[in-house]
Amino acid sequence: PIGSPGGTFLTDAVRKVPTFKEKTRLATWNVKGMIELGKSHSIIQQMERLGVKILGISESHWKGSGKKLIQDTTFYYSGSPESDGVNYHGVAIAVDKTINNNVKHFLPLSNRVCLLQLNAQGRHINIIQAYAPTMDKDDEEVEEFYRDIAAAMRLTKSIDVTIVLGDFNAKVGEGSQTEVMGCFGLGERNERGDRLLLFCQENKMILTNTLYKQPKRRLYTWISPQDKPERIIRNQIDYIMINQRYRNTVKSAKTYPGAYIGSDHSILIADVQIKLKKLVQPKSRTQIDVRKLQDLSVKGTVFQELNENLDTISMQHDAGQVEENWLTIKSALLGPCNKHLKRTKAKREKDWMTEQILRLMEVRQELRDRNADKTKLKELNNKIRYECRQAKEQWLKEKCEEIEHLQTLHDAHNMHKKIRELTGSKKQTTHYLLNECGDIIVETDKQVKLWEKYIEQLFDDDRVNVEDIETPTGPEILKDEISYVINNMKKRKAAGPDELPGDVLQLIEEKHLDKLAHLFNQVYTSGILPVD
């Protein structure tokens, strides 16, 4: 007891857990594959209908790993290697656009386990999506699965909110309340259920969808193909777990069997009281579109205004005024560019999905809600598949016509851009750092130290230091040298931190290169570099 002669400290007796006020709805769902046309859009539609912000997906059947933006939802996925001939397993996490900016890391650990880390107030929120081997797989494969989850758990901190969710193909049963589960499970426990509870004990996790008294239809997550009214076969094999320290942040956890996705699993949803970190978006700099210089009237206007600005400026000769001289020149050059060459915000390309198909999906859900005849539901499913194929084919045809039109205009840049978009060759991949032992490093301070060590080793030099040369400078930089370099710059190359592409520098008249020569020599002799 607190205050006893034994001297128990309050900090040891009561662990202060932060309280959060904002609820975030997250879920897990075995969707039985996402390769079918329209499946991803149907998932997004269900997320919006149910208010789910983060959805863990089992059996995505997507190969490789990376992320895909579909409509306004980002899918982070981890699947089998691209070289495999068969699509199988695969996990993914779908994140709503309202919280996608909070994603800090995504780690595809295997085709059964992935980790998504979010920035929250004072800590991280770790989402581990898992898909366990089915009952026909041997114990070694099951142990390998739990080793993958353990590897993900090692990347988290005890202070973090860690949520493990997915299809575990295990039954923990009902009627036995412990520190790792409640007494409102379903059915009888099996060996895989014992293994799952052992994992919870080792990692101090608790099964949230066994904590609340619910009707059985809110507990089962899977319906057997042999399920019949006279012989009901429904099990609870999908779970959402959270570390025991934060068990009170979970306000509910139950299934929504009415949600339709063409799977024998029901979506399992938990309302968790967590507060994500409010991120301030940095002010983006104005981007210059040098392709607008192809219009001769625009090019002439920029050329005239740019050189008129350079006519009016005067250079400071004090060695300490390098920054002032540079900003004067930069302002003279960027002014006309921001006025006439400002890049217009590109509209995001609309994908092949149509409003008509989305409406058919809504009708399908309405039929499911009314327990309509299965024949009608099957007919509507076939119609949706047909409409998806037709819409995708029409979309591809229009894209090919766009590419052919760009080819007739000899617009190679946009033509190849469209081809890359169409073929998907520009793939969004995820990256992570490994240390010398092959362990993944996710903490920012450790990543910085790892980079420092790598760069030190890369540029390590055992040579004897050379004595300083008495004459600190050589011949001055000539205007002709600057002219030669500018004129030989490749066109349409990205600008550096100064925001000035080479195409703009090539518009400077010869007489104004003296100002650049003065600036460069001032930097050369003083050793002072502009901030840019």
Region of poorest pLDDT, from 180-184, 218-222, 318-322: 318-322
Which of the two residues, 64 and 317, has the higher pLDDT score? 64
Q: Tell me, yes or no, whether 467 lies in a domain.
A: no
The pLDDT of residue 120 is 86
What pLDDT sits at residue 4? 36
Higher pLDDT: 427 or 187? It is 187
Q: Identify the bridge partners of residue 91 per DSSP, sorted by sequence position.
A: 58, 78
Looking at residue 422, its pLDDT comes to 80
294 domain-assigned: yes
User: Alpha-carbon distance 267 to 374, whole Å?
Assistant: 20
- The reported pLDDT for the residue numbered 467 is 67
End-of-domain residue from the set 243, 273, 303: 273
pLDDT at site 33: 93
Q: Are 193 and 176 in contact (CB under 8 A)?
A: no
Position 429 in a domain: no
Per-residue pLDDT tens digits for 10-67: 333 444 444 455 789 999 999 999 999 999 999 999 999 999 999 999 999 999 899 9
What pLDDT, in 10s, does the model give residues 167-197? 999 999 997 788 999 999 999 999 999 999 9
Q: Does the residue 298 lie in any domain?
A: yes
Residue 352: closest CA among 123, 147, 84, 71: 71
Q: pLDDT above 70 covers what percent of the chain?
A: 90
Q: Is residue 213 located within the same domain as residue 335?
A: no
Say yes or no: 139 and 63 in one domain.
yes
Residue 396 lies inside a defined structural domain of this protein: yes
Higher pLDDT, 437 or 50: 50
Confidence of residue 131 (pLDDT cuts 50, 70, 90): very high
Same domain, 229 and 309: no
Quote the domain boundaries for residue 326.
290-344+473-526
On whether both 92 and 37 belong to a single domain, the answer is yes
Please check whether residue 211 is in contact with residue 236, taking contact to mean a CB–CB distance below 8 angstroms. no
* Structure-token match 């392709």, residue found: 291
How many helices and strands in the chain, by DSSP H and E? 13, 17
Mean of per-residue pLDDT scores for the chain: 87
pLDDT over threshold 50, residue 450 = yes
Q: Which range, of 197-201, 220-224, 294-298, averages the lowest pLDDT?
A: 294-298
Same domain for 330 and 363, yes or no, is no
Give the pLDDT mean for 255-267.
Answer: 94
**Lowest-confidence range among 221-235, 264-278, 326-340, 449-463?**
449-463
Let me know whether 337 and 197 are in one domain: no
Residue type, 515: K
Poorest-confidence range of 430-434, 487-491, 514-518?
430-434
Last residue of a domain, one of 273, 301, 320: 273
Of 404, 426, 406, the closest CA to residue 414 belongs to 406
Res. 429 pLDDT band, cuts 50 70 90:
low
Its pTM surpasses 0.85: no
Q: Is residue 284 part of a domain?
A: no
Q: What is the DSSP letter of 350?
A: P
Note the pLDDT tens digit of each residue in 74-116.
Answer: 999 999 887 777 778 999 999 999 999 999 999 999 999 999 9
Q: Given this model, what pLDDT does residue 343 score?
A: 78
120, 141, 158, 231: which is closest to 195 by C-alpha? 141
Q: Is residue 213 over pLDDT 60?
A: yes
The percent of residues in the chain predicted with pLDDT above 90, rounded, is: 55
Judge whether 171 and 189 are in contact, CB under 8 Å: yes
Strands 222-223 and 23-30: unpaired
Query: Is 208 a member of any domain?
Result: yes
Of 385, 400, 423, which closes a domain? Answer: 423
Residues 317 and 394 in one domain: no
Q: How far is CA 85 from CA 64, 65, 82, in A?
A: 12, 16, 8
pLDDT band at 147; cut points 50, 70, 90: very high
**Does 210 share its domain with 179?**
yes
Instruction: Quickly list DSSP for 103-131.
Output: EEEEEE-SSSEEEEEEEETTEEEEEEEEE
Q: With 60 as the cut, is the pLDDT of residue 249 above it?
A: yes
* Predicted local distance difference test score (pLDDT) of residue 186: 93
Q: Could you count the other beta carbons within 10 Å of the beta carbon of residue 98?
A: 11
Identify any residues that bridge with 205 across adjacent strands, giving them in sequence order.
243
468 has pLDDT over 70: no
One domain, residues 297 and 229: no
Residues 154 and 301 in one domain: no
In a domain, 10, yes or no: no
Residues 167, 83 share a domain: yes
Residue 242 sits in a domain whose CATH number is 3.60.10.10
Give the span between the Cα atoms of 75 and 92, in whole angstroms.
7
Q: Are residues 265 and 295 in the same domain?
A: no
In this structure, is the dihedral angle defined by the CA atoms of residues 32, 218, 148 and 452, taken in order, positive or negative? Answer: positive
Looking at residue 181, its pLDDT comes to 94
Report the 3 state secondary structure along 486-507: HHCCCCCCCCCCCCCCHHHHCC
Q: Which helix (H) or strand (E) holds 259?
A: none
Mean pLDDT, residues 436-454 taken together:
79
Total count of domains within the chain: 3
